[in-house]
Amino acid sequence: METPYDAIVLGAGISGLALAARLKRKTQSVLVLEKSAGVGGRLATRRGNDCTFDHGAQFIKMRKEDTELWREAVGSQELEHVWFSRAECDYVVFSKGLTQLRKSLAQAVELKLNEKVVRLESGKDFCTVLSETGARFLTKKIYLTCPLPQSVALLRNSQISIPEELEHIEYAPALVGLFRVQSTSPAILNFTYQQDYSECIFSISNQLSKGVSQNLAFTMVMQPTWSKAHFENDDAKSEQDITQFFKEALLRIGAGQDFTVLSSQLKKWRYSHPLTTAKTLFQILPADSKIYLAGDAFGGGHILGALRSALAVPLND
Ligand SMILES: Cc1cc2nc3c(=O)[nH]c(=O)nc-3n(C[C@H](O)[C@H](O)[C@H](O)COP(=O)(O)OP(=O)(O)OC[C@H]3O[C@@H](n4cnc5c(N)ncnc54)[C@H](O)[C@@H]3O)c2cc1C
């Protein structure tokens, strides 16, 4: 008879890792199951030959009152720094990309990658967690931290009922362009970040000025409406369209000064952030007090929201 885990956390994004680290501090046996080949979820950093891009979240938008939550979740971090400050908020980043944050959180926990959970079975004392690879894990409690529509699909597939209001929380998709650029224009080199750049462009981030990339590189996130309208289009066409938008934007940023786009890449996120959030910071499934839901659909659609949710989940009941 296999020994059940005290807790299994689904998803090795920031909320899953922070929650697992908390559970672990209570000396419980904790396992994190992650469907991808790496940890971090929407905290993602892509390294090329000579450029590095954060291609999911770009920064942590930190107000003074968030510092305590941040320290509680992450502990002391010597590698974080303020990229820029605006309107009483610090925009905090990591010099090796936001990957650094997830790696430090993942150190303490037992983790299995490439384990996509496809079914949960809730028994009298324990739950069984089944993955696509055919692996089975027994546990006393399950904590789901996937983007909410993915958790909802998993629970439906397991014939486990969920509160109706959670079924209606939708996520915005995001199409993202990654660009290597050559330029001597001070306006381009010193550009940091701009949000709501246009009707089609949500944000443009300079990965060099952020300290993440060793050479000039930009991440451009398209607006949710544009991303939704183009999500199923041919990838090559979307990349071409986004590159055109980027060139036009850079022309304005550089006030017409010279630049060359050396290369472009497209990244697609089906679930970028929730369009609305749940009324509570986490949810215990009413039919079964062994299953918890947490993540950015509960605490707010950003890194601090995901952490706020992970820190609110009770550990002992
Ligand atoms: C392009 C983009 C830009 C963003 N910009 C910012 C920003 O600048 N600042 C900010 O604060 N936030 C930003 N966000 C939002 C932020 O990244 C998220 O709110 C946060 O990372 C959510 O963390 P999470 O742990 O709740 O979810 P996730 O990071 O999505 O983690 C969930 C994990 O669950 C895994 N999973 C899913 N289904 C299964 C399954 N069946 N079995 C096993 N594992 C599974 C997934 O692979 C994933 O790793 C951005 C997001 C995107 C996509």
CATH code: domain of residue 235: 3.90.660.10
Looking at the structure, do residues 74 and 125 belong to the same domain, yes or no? yes
Coil, strand, or helix at residue 100? helix
Sequence-separated contacts (24+) of 251-255 with Cβ below 8 Å = 253/187, 253/188, 253/191, 253/204, 254/183, 254/185, 254/187, 254/188, 255/185, 255/187
**What pLDDT was estimated at residue 25?**
86
- Backbone angle region of 225, left / alpha / beta, with phi > 0 → left and psi within -120 to 50 → alpha: alpha
Which atom of ligand 1 is the closest one to the Cα of 115?
43
d(CA 10, CA 295): 11
Rounded distance from Cα 58 to ligand 1 centre (Å): 12
Which atom of ligand 1 is the closest one to the Cα of 147?
30
- Expressed as residue numbers, the domain containing 41 is 5-46+60-169+276-312
Looking at the structure, do residues 155 and 14 belong to the same domain, yes or no? yes
C-beta of 144 in contact with ligand 1 (< 6 A)? no
Task: Please count the structural domains in the chain.
Answer: 2
Contacts of 229 (CB under 8 A, 6+ apart): none
Q: Which tokens go with 39?
A: 């940890």
C-beta of 310 in contact with ligand 1 (< 6 A)? no
pTM of the model: 0.94
Rounded distance from Cα 43 to ligand 1 centre (Å): 6
* Cβ neighbours of 98 (radius 10 Å): 26
d(CA 218, CA 213): 9
Looking at the structure, do residues 299 and 153 belong to the same domain, yes or no? yes
Backbone φ and ψ of 159, nearest 5°: 55, 40
Looking at the structure, do residues 34 and 76 belong to the same domain, yes or no? yes
C-beta of 302 in contact with ligand 1 (< 6 A)? yes
Alpha helices (runs of H) in the chain, residue ranges in sequence order? 14-25, 67-74, 99-106, 148-157, 164-167, 186-189, 224-230, 235-253, 296-299, 303-312
Looking at the structure, do residues 282 and 269 belong to the same domain, yes or no? no
Looking at the structure, do residues 12 and 129 belong to the same domain, yes or no? yes
Backbone φ and ψ of 136, nearest 5°: -125, 140
**What pLDDT was estimated at residue 77?**
62
Check which CATH number belongs to the domain holding 284 and give it.
3.50.50.60
Looking at the structure, do residues 182 and 247 belong to the same domain, yes or no? yes
Amino acid at 90: D
Does 55 fall in a domain? no
Does 179 fall in a domain? yes
Contacts of 140 (CB under 8 A, 6+ apart): 4, 5, 6, 7, 125, 126, 127, 290
Looking at the structure, do residues 257 and 292 belong to the same domain, yes or no? no
First to last CA, the chain: 25
Backbone φ and ψ of 120, nearest 5°: -120, 140
**CA separation (Å) from 295 to 18, 158, 203?**
10, 20, 23
Which atom of ligand 1 is the closest one to the Cα of 295?
26
Rounded distance from Cα 86 to ligand 1 centre (Å): 25
Does 53 fall in a domain? no
Looking at the structure, do residues 136 and 80 belong to the same domain, yes or no? yes
* Cβ neighbours of 284 (radius 10 Å): 16
Going by the DSSP 8-state scheme, the letter that residue 13 receives in this structure is B
Rounded distance from Cα 184 to ligand 1 centre (Å): 35
Rounded distance from Cα 150 to ligand 1 centre (Å): 11
Rounded distance from Cα 5 to ligand 1 centre (Å): 25
Which atom of ligand 1 is the closest one to the Cα of 44?
17
Which atom of ligand 1 is the closest one to the Cα of 58?
8
C-beta of 36 in contact with ligand 1 (< 6 A)? yes
Does 51 fall in a domain? no
Which atom of ligand 1 is the closest one to the Cα of 33?
43
Does 229 fall in a domain? yes
Does 38 fall in a domain? yes
Does 317 fall in a domain? no
Q: Which tokens go with 172?
A: 């915005």
Looking at the structure, do residues 113 and 231 belong to the same domain, yes or no? no
Looking at the structure, do residues 146 and 109 belong to the same domain, yes or no? yes
Which residue's CA lies nearest to atom 53 of ligand 1?
272
Q: Which of 302, 308, 309, 313 to mutate to test the pocket of ligand 1 (most atoms within 8 A of CB)?
A: 302
Does 77 fall in a domain? yes
Looking at the structure, do residues 28 and 130 belong to the same domain, yes or no? yes
Mean pLDDT by 10 residues, the chain (317 residues): 89 94 87 94 89 95 90 73 92 79 73 97 91 96 97 96 94 98 95 96 97 96 98 97 97 90 97 97 86 97 96 86
Residue 144 CA to its chain's centroid (Å) = 14
**What pLDDT was estimated at residue 269?**
98
